[in-house]
């Protein structure tokens, strides 16, 4: 894992955008796995600005989400709504190039199988953008005795149920759909963004290099091509 440190989220995001755009220039039909939340916000904004300068750069790009909440009463706050606002509309990603979850499917196990089949057909993921959860989760791959390899219905940890994306939800989701750890590790390149409050301890745990299911993000040490971008204030250098 290559860890780089930045003075603030803006400079971190500028580096992240440069990585994404460089990969797009090499592979126009790049399959991008998109995380949601506050960590990639500025990155996605910068990609939108890049589209305004060079619209052809994104005309073949493909997007698959990392995860999705189950049980939100309204579309507001869903990962799909976030990705649509931050990526699909600004980058003009057409419906045939977006492979989203259906969290309202009658049979969620079948939905997981559908996503897994789609990933097999379209993948592997070329570039996986991740944020670091306060408990070390990646997507909804929560700390557990055994981590799931592929797309599955996840039981959300209490920290995930208090995520800012669903802060205004009347009923907090207790489950989510997510790609599995092996799906993430099968990505050709991984871009892990670490920013936001309350992540000092988990960042130290990640930086230690000790791989543990108690901190799923530490499994990224087993991948040969991980760029981890961290803001300075997450721990003392």
Which domains occur in the chain, in start order? 2-232 (3.40.50.1360)
Q: At residue 226, does pLDDT exceed 60? A: yes
User: Smallest Cα–Cα separation from 160: which of 234, 69, 35?
Assistant: 69
Instruction: State the pLDDT at residue 158.
Output: 62
Is the pLDDT at 80 greater than 60? The verdict is yes
The label of the residue with tokens 């500028």 reads 14
Which one of the listed residues 67, 68, 126, 183 is annotated catalytic? Answer: 67
Respond yes or no: is residue 135 known to be catalytic.
yes
In the predicted model, is pLDDT for residue 34 greater than 70?
yes
Identify any residues that bridge with 83 across adjacent strands, giving them in sequence order. none
142 tagged catalytic: yes
Give 89's pLDDT tier (boundaries 50, 70, 90): very high
**237 band by pLDDT with thresholds 50, 70 and 90:** very low
74: Cβ contacts below 8 Å, ≥ 6 apart: none
- Determine the Cα–Cα distance for residues 212 and 159; give it in Å rounded to an integer: 19
Residues forming a β-bridge with 33: 64, 128
Catalytic residue among 111, 135, 141, 152: 135
Choice among 68, 111, 142, 183 that is catalytic: 142
Is the distance from CB of 96 to CB of 64 less than 8 angstroms?
no
How far apart (Å, rounded) are the C-alpha atoms in residues 93 and 95?
7
Q: Summarize the confidence of residues 197-223 as an average pLDDT.
A: 93
The answer to whether residue 25 is catalytic is no
Contact 193, 132 (CB under 8 A): yes
Q: What pLDDT is stored for residue 72 in this prediction?
A: 79
Confidence of residue 25 (pLDDT cuts 50, 70, 90): very high
- Residue 115 sits at the vertex; the CA angle it makes with 57 and 47, to the nearest 5 degrees, is 25
- For residue 98, the 8-state DSSP code is B
What confidence score (pLDDT) does residue 77 get? Answer: 82
Closest CA to 195 of 145, 134, 135, 154: 134
> Which one of the listed residues 80, 137, 152, 163 is annotated catalytic?
137
- Told to judge if 67 belongs to the known catalytic residues of this protein, a careful annotator would answer yes
Of 174, 165, 161, 170, residue with least CA distance to 35: 165
Does pLDDT of 198 surpass 90?
Answer: no
Q: Residues 101-133: pLDDT tens digits?
A: 999 999 999 999 999 999 999 999 999 999 998
Measured distance CA(66)–CA(125) in Å, rounded:
11
């Amino acid at each position: 894992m290559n860890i780089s440190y930045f003075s603030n989220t803006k400079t971190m995001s500028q580096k992240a955008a440069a990585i994404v755009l460089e990969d797009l220039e090499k592979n126009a039909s790049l399959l991008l796995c998109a995380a949601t939340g506050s960590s990639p916000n500025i990155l996605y904004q910068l990609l939108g600005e890049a589209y305004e300068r060079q619209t052809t750069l994104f005309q073949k790009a493909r997007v698959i989400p990392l995860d999705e909440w189950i049980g939100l009463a309204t579309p507001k706050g869903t990962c799909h709504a976030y990705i649509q606002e931050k990526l699909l509309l600004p980058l003009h990603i057409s419906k045939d190039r977006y492979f989203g979850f259906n969290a309202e499917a009658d049979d969620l196990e079948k939905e997981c199988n559908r996503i897994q089949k789609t990933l097999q057909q379209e993948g592997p993921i070329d570039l996986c953008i991740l944020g670091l959860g306060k408990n070390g989760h990646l997507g909804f791959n929560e700390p557990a005795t055994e981590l799931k390899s592929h797309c599955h219905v996840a039981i959300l940890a209490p920290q995930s149920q208090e995520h800012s994306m669903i802060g205004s939800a009347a009923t907090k989701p207790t489950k989510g759909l997510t790609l599995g750890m092996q799906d993430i590790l099968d990505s050709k390149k991984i871009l892990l963004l670490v920013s936001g409050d309350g992540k000092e301890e988990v960042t130290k745990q990640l930086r230690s290099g000790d791989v543990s299911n108690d901190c799923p993000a530490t499994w990224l040490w087993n991948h040969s091509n991980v760029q981890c971008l961290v803001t300075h204030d997450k721990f003392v250098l």
